[in-house]
Chains A and B, each alone.
Chain A
Amino acid sequence: MSKRTVEISVATPGTDAQGNPLRVPIPASPADVDPELGGEHLLINIGPQHPATHGVLRLVVELEGETVVRVIPHVGYLHSGFEKLGEYRHYNQIVPLTDRTDYLAPMSNNVGVVLAAEKLMGIEITPRCEVLRVIACEMSRIISHMVWLGTTSIDLGAFTPFLWAFQQRERIYNLQEMWTGARLTTSLTRVGGLLADVPDKFVTDLRTFTETFPDTLDEIDRVLTRNAVWVGRTQNIGVLTAEEAINYSLSGPMLRASGVAWDLRKDKPYLGYENYDFDVPVGEHGDVYDRFLVRLEECYQSNKILKQALERLPDGPINVDDPRVILPPKSRAMNDMEAMIYHFKQVMEGVKAPVGEAYAGIENPKGELGNYFVSDGTAKPVRWRIRPPAFINLASISKMAEGHLLSDLIAINASVDIVMGEVDR
């Protein structure tokens, strides 16, 4: 492992005499443990109701002294059978289910699921809808990363960044409420368009947000990045090399922190992301600290994308001009025979998809969110598969935590950025 040089801004030195980061030494093997103190392995159970597991995750941990020998994760406590439910619903009726998977970034999930449905049906969305969906995705990324930053800093003993982060998240929630009427269960998208256009005040309010939000990021950066406690508790913890990260199918910030420059927005662009100017932060060491740096920088980049999207937001319709896909306005449905028939057919029969299948992956805050639809030609999918980034990232926790201290397990678990709604679906 290469040596890290991080300037520490407080009086406590961040490195010991040999230049290694300050942290409690870990016995390299059970043989190093004083035989008088060593003994039976201890079994402890963390969760499913525990604040540091970020939801109903249960970890059964085998300890040798304070060193983690083995972690056996148990998931499924929040299993809701969304994929099964989706087989009994029209494509538009699936959108509300996606609010409840990764409930820290609902708008981004909404976009992901309709992109797959539109790929299946061969629908081209309008330019205004495309830019608004980019805004929705990047707003989601910011609130998801803010929750991650806040809760992780609490796990590691820093309470102040949590308050700052949640204050900013609240501002985005207000914008989401303004746009969709809901703060959490947004159900923003429809196949071929959106639930609603943004209200008049939205653009100015979001612009104000993008101008002031980086101040909070700077503050978080000042208080954490060179903080001796933070550095000592995150550096060289839970290291995964680039090969391991790829082998474990990690995605999102977890993959990039290990030094793999892979971002679907750059490498398999959707929603016109290739036309935006932004950077993809990539870590070097693959530890908890690098995951923090990657996520922090992604917030700056998302803010940059939001600014560009607001600049270029074109006028025009938000929905495609196809009465088989998009509901007619209510006034026409009540007064015009043809519009009423279309309304009736859509509500009763749903939007039909051709026979075939489609997979659409988007870069969600947690990683690659894939939606895979298989259709037999009816209005309800035969199979709806969510490729859950948090579930797949969490699978590497045993590999990361073994050999570390119990308190480091909490930091590692936090660094995965899980949301159990998505892990268990």
Chain B
Amino acid sequence: MNPSANALQATFGNAIGRVIDARGETIVYVSPAKVRDVLVWLKGTAGQDYNYLVDVTAVEYRDRERPLEVVWNLRSLASRQDLRIKVELDPRGELAVPSVVDLWAGANWLEREVYDMFGVTFTGHPDLRRILMWETYAEGYPLRKDFPLRGRFSRSEQVRQALNVNPEGHYSMEELAIADAYDELPRDMRDRLARGERDKIPNSE
């Protein structure tokens, strides 16, 4: 058992839920309200020094009654200890946990991926956009259990949308602003961009 689990229970008391020790791995369940404090404490406290974030991910079970879990895999390079922190969220409620990008810069893309695949919002993330799927992807969150393996839309609808993609939609507003290109776009294009219709070409319906 990782000694940090006992230290967490002593420090945070009721905020720490179950502690599981199996196959040489220690899993600590933390209440969602306290998870950021726990992660800050684990990174910053002498003797803990969990300075390396291995992974951020989420788990949804096939059993619909079980909560969705957000998982942080932490590692202390000095003591070579791994610790897994978990938070349970009700999938019917709001899926939100605090972001840790300010603690570990490596969490940036990992949190974006969890948001992209599971729809979990990381509050305080500087740039929470989809990362593997495109920004206007409308079929939902692919790794959720209610998402069918082949996607929500029919194959013909998916093909139709892919063929109708507007090349201008490949730049975000922020990127167009870099080149001052936004002001030079035709008026109708600007209007559509402003309305967020980045992937549609007029009269394509």
Q: Which residues from chain B contact A357 at a C-beta distance below 8 Å?
A: 22, 25, 27
Q: Which residues from chain A contact B149 at a C-beta distance below 8 Å?
A: 84-85, 88
Q: State whether A249 touches B106 (Cβ < 8 A).
A: yes
- A21 at the A/B interface (Cβ < 8 Å)? no
- A222 at the A/B interface (Cβ < 8 Å)? no
- B104 at the A/B interface (Cβ < 8 Å)? yes
- B51 at the A/B interface (Cβ < 8 Å)? yes
* Complex alpha-carbon distance, A244 and B52, angstroms: 11
Give min CB distance, A77 to chain B, whole Å: 9
B178: contacting residue among A41, A81, A267, A356, CB under 8 A = A41
Query: Residue on B with the closest CB to A380?
Result: B62
Query: Residue on B with the closest CB to A395?
Result: B109
Q: State whether A391 touches B22 (Cβ < 8 A).
A: no
- A79 at the A/B interface (Cβ < 8 Å)? yes
* Complex alpha-carbon distance, A42 and B176, angstroms: 10
Q: State whether A119 touches B23 (Cβ < 8 A).
A: yes
Give min CB distance, B169 to chain A, whole Å: 12
Task: Tell me the B136-179 residues at the A interface (CB within 8 Å).
Answer: 142-143, 147, 149, 171-172, 174-176, 178-179
Q: Which of B7-15, B53-61, B91-99, B196-204 has 4 or more CB atoms under 8 Å from chain A?
A: B53-61
Q: State whether B105 touches A358 (Cβ < 8 A).
A: no
Q: Which of A27-35, A101-109, A162-170, A381-389 has 4 or more CB atoms under 8 Å from chain B?
A: A381-389
Q: State whether B80 touches A268 (Cβ < 8 A).
A: yes
Task: Tell me the A242-267 residues at the B interface (CB within 8 Å).
Answer: 244, 246-250, 260, 262, 267
Between A and B, how many residue pairs show CB distances below 8 Å?
A: 116
Q: Which residues from chain A contact B61 at a C-beta distance below 8 Å?
A: 374, 376, 382
A370: contacting residue among B54, B109, B171, B179, CB under 8 A = B54
Q: State whether A81 touches B22 (Cβ < 8 A).
A: no
User: What's the tally of chain A residues with a CB closer than 8 Å to chain B?
Assistant: 52
Q: Which residues from chain B contact A119 at a C-beta distance below 8 Å?
A: 23
Q: State whether A246 touches B59 (Cβ < 8 A).
A: no
B104: contacting residue among A41, A83, A249, A383, CB under 8 A = A249
Q: State whether B106 touches A43 (Cβ < 8 A).
A: no
- B65 at the A/B interface (Cβ < 8 Å)? no
* Complex alpha-carbon distance, A383 and B117, angstroms: 12
* Complex alpha-carbon distance, A358 and B178, angstroms: 45
Q: State whether B142 touches A387 (Cβ < 8 A).
A: no
- A94 at the A/B interface (Cβ < 8 Å)? no
Query: Residue on A with the closest CB to B112?
Result: A395
Give min CB distance, A252 to chain B, whole Å: 13
- A62 at the A/B interface (Cβ < 8 Å)? yes
* Complex alpha-carbon distance, A262 and B51, angstroms: 13
Give min CB distance, B170 to chain A, whole Å: 8
- A341 at the A/B interface (Cβ < 8 Å)? no
- A40 at the A/B interface (Cβ < 8 Å)? yes
- A60 at the A/B interface (Cβ < 8 Å)? yes
- A424 at the A/B interface (Cβ < 8 Å)? yes
- A179 at the A/B interface (Cβ < 8 Å)? no
Q: State whether B134 touches A383 (Cβ < 8 A).
A: no
* Complex alpha-carbon distance, A70 and B127, angstroms: 15
Give min CB distance, B44 to chain A, whole Å: 13
Q: State whether B178 touches A382 (Cβ < 8 A).
A: no
Q: A250-B106, A424-B132 are in contact. Are A81 and B142 (CB under 8 A)?
A: yes
- B180 at the A/B interface (Cβ < 8 Å)? yes
Q: State whether B134 touches A60 (Cβ < 8 A).
A: no
Q: State whether A75 touches B131 (Cβ < 8 A).
A: yes
- A182 at the A/B interface (Cβ < 8 Å)? no
Q: State whether B132 touches A76 (Cβ < 8 A).
A: yes
* Complex alpha-carbon distance, A250 and B174, angstroms: 27
Query: Residue on A with the closest CB to B117?
Result: A83
B57: contacting residue among A72, A79, A385, A396, CB under 8 A = A385
Give min CB distance, B119 to chain A, whole Å: 14
Give min CB distance, B158 to chain A, whole Å: 13
Q: State whether A76 touches B84 (Cβ < 8 A).
A: no
Q: State whether A83 touches B143 (Cβ < 8 A).
A: yes
B52: contacting residue among A122, A249, A359, CB under 8 A = A249
Q: State whether B106 touches A72 (Cβ < 8 A).
A: no
Q: Which residues from chain A contact B174 at a C-beta distance below 8 Å?
A: 72
Q: State whether B178 touches A43 (Cβ < 8 A).
A: yes
* Complex alpha-carbon distance, A83 and B118, angstroms: 12
* Complex alpha-carbon distance, A41 and B181, angstroms: 11
A392: contacting residue among B23, B84, B109, B180, CB under 8 A = B109
B59: contacting residue among A42, A75, A356, A374, CB under 8 A = A374
Q: State whether A356 touches B143 (Cβ < 8 A).
A: no
Please indicate which of the listed interface residues B57, B80, B134 has the most CB atoms of chain A within 10 Å of its own CB: B57
* Complex alpha-carbon distance, A45 and B61, angstroms: 40
Sampled A-B contacts (11; CB under 8 Å): A43-B171, A43-B181, A72-B172, A249-B52, A249-B107, A370-B73, A387-B54, A391-B109, A395-B105, A396-B106, A424-B132
| Other A-B pairs, 18, CB within 8 Å; known A357-B22, A359-B25 | A41-B178, A43-B171, A43-B179, A60-B178, A62-B178, A83-B117, A246-B77, A247-B104, A248-B106, A250-B106, A356-B23, A359-B73, A370-B55, A370-B73, A382-B62, A383-B59, A391-B109, A395-B109
Give the B-binding residues of A (Cβ under 8 A).
40-43, 45, 60, 62, 70, 72, 75-76, 79, 81, 83-85, 88, 119-120, 122, 244, 246-250, 260, 262, 267-268, 356-359, 361, 368, 370, 372, 374, 376, 382-383, 385, 387, 391-392, 394-396, 399, 424-425
Please provide the 7 A-B residue pairs with the shortest distance between their CB atoms, ordered closest to farther. A249-B106, A43-B179, A76-B132, A395-B109, A79-B132, A62-B178, A387-B55
